[in-house]
Amino acid sequence: MDYRTLAVEFFNNLNAFRKFRPQKHISESMRGETFALQYIAMRGGSVLPGEISSEMGISSARIAAALNSLERKGCVTRRIDSADRRRIVVELTEKGAALAHEHSEELLENITKMLSVLSEEDAREFVRILAILAEHAGSYCD
């Protein structure tokens, strides 16, 4: 099998795909303030900034900037950890939790629409193959 030819075809299809809005929402959900909100919500509404930084693979300074912005918008609060006063805990506010939920619902709606153009069998196969690629991403991504 010529994997390089398939890679070119994949790349061309990916470029065509990225022009459309559902993919844009997926990409946006994987970075910045939206990711931070989603991550905090998935972790029960309370995390350490370093956890977000580690999960996103970005500097603590960039996370601090995102958290500052979210705090100004009333989406998160920060407090000193009662168990370890050296640590800061970031928590979602009601507004932040509602926004995270709204983003999740919008993202799921877009992914549902995207998958619905496939047959049930193709949709299941796509998700199965994507899981394999995600599992092995560390072996082929630098």
Q: How far is CA 21 from CA 97, 107, 114, 116, in A?
A: 24, 11, 10, 15
Q: What is the DSSP string of 84-110?
A: -TT-EEEEE-HHHHHHHHHHHHHHHHH
26, 107 contact by CB (below 8 A)? yes
Helix (H, G, I), strand (E, B) or coil at 133: helix
pLDDT tens by residue, 89-141: 999 999 999 999 999 998 889 889 889 999 999 999 999 999 998 888 877 76
Angstrom distance (rounded) from CA 52 to CA 60: 9
Reported as a pLDDT band with limits 50, 70 and 90, residue 28 is: low
Angstrom distance (rounded) from CA 34 to CA 79: 21
50, 135 contact by CB (below 8 A)? no
Q: What pLDDT sits at residue 67?
A: 93
pTM, rounded to two decimals: 0.75
pLDDT tens by residue, 71-86: 999 999 999 988 888 8
Q: What is the DSSP string of 35-81?
A: HHHHHHHHTTSEE-HHHHHHHHT--HHHHHHHHHHHHHTTSEEEEE-
Ramachandran region, residue 77 (left: φ > 0; alpha: ψ -120 to 50; beta: rest): beta
